[in-house]
Amino acid sequence: MNIPCIIIPVIVGLICGILGYLLGKMNSKTDHSLAASLQADLDACKAHTKNLNTRIATLEADLAAKPKETPQSFAATAPLILFDSELAQNALGKKIKENDLKIVEGIGPKIEALLNSDGITSWRALSEASTEKLQSILDAGGENYAIHNPSTWAKQALFAYQGKWQELKDWQENLLGGKE
């Protein structure tokens, strides 16, 4: 048996083992500093997250305390404006009668009759009605009425009540069957 054939692999193995051990020792020192650095970054991120969550909670509390802006709140602050049929006709291109609910996109004669029977007979009353109330009136009218979406009716009625005819016309041009 040839001794160099046995000794050479043994020496190479020992050298690789020693090098692996030394490299492992060097990396373990680096790993500790890397781990410490990563832990510091993680702690900083946790502190930042805690600050952000505190800010979010504060903003949510402020938002909850602030009254929501709804068509009803617009109507409550709306000044009394006299109806000007000539101005309405010029803006909308057709003769308008005061408190005609049919000028609201999505309301026809039958829905107007439903609303009137429930006490909504003016633009102001329609502008103050909630979408839920309007939907319940439609639902009570039957399935032919329940399919309508009254979500924009209060805002349209508020434009009419305030005499903002051009705004009403511009807004209605972007609606499809009373829906945004």
What's the confidence (pLDDT) of residue 121? 92
Does any domain span residue 178?
A: no
Same domain, 6 and 76: no
With beta carbons less than 8 A apart as the criterion, state whether 123 and 160 touch. yes
Residues of the chain falling short of pLDDT 50: 78, 177-179
Nearest one of 100, 136, 92, 103 to 121, comparing CA atoms: 100
Q: List pLDDT tens digits, range 51-102.
A: 888 888 888 888 888 766 555 555 555 456 677 778 888 888 888 888 899 9
Among 66, 98, 116, identify where a domain stops: 66
Question: Is the pTM higher than 0.75?
Answer: no
Distances (CA, A) of 112 to 41, 97, 117, 123: 64, 14, 9, 11
Whether residues 106 and 151 fall in one domain: yes
One domain for residues 13 and 83: no
Looking at the structure, tell me whether residues 100 and 131 fall in a common domain.
Answer: yes
Determine, yes or no, domain membership for 180. Answer: no
Q: What is the pLDDT of residue 120?
A: 93
pLDDT of residue 170: 87
H or E element at residue 50: helix 3-65
In the prediction, which pLDDT does 14 show?
A: 94
Check residue 178 and give its pLDDT: 45
Domain range enclosing 1: 1-66
d(CA 59, CA 9): 71
User: Domain ends where: 47, 66, 85?
Assistant: 66
176 forms bridges with which residues in the sheet? 179
Shared-domain flag, residues 76 and 143? yes
Residue 101 lies in a domain: yes
The domain boundary, picked from 66, 86, 119, lies at 66
Same domain for 122 and 56, yes or no, is no
Residues 62 and 78 in one domain: no
The reply to whether 93 and 126 lie within a common domain is yes
Structural domain count, the chain: 2
Domain membership of residue 179 (yes or no) is: no
Q: Is residue 146 part of a domain?
A: yes
- Please tell me whether residues 92 and 169 are part of one structural domain: yes
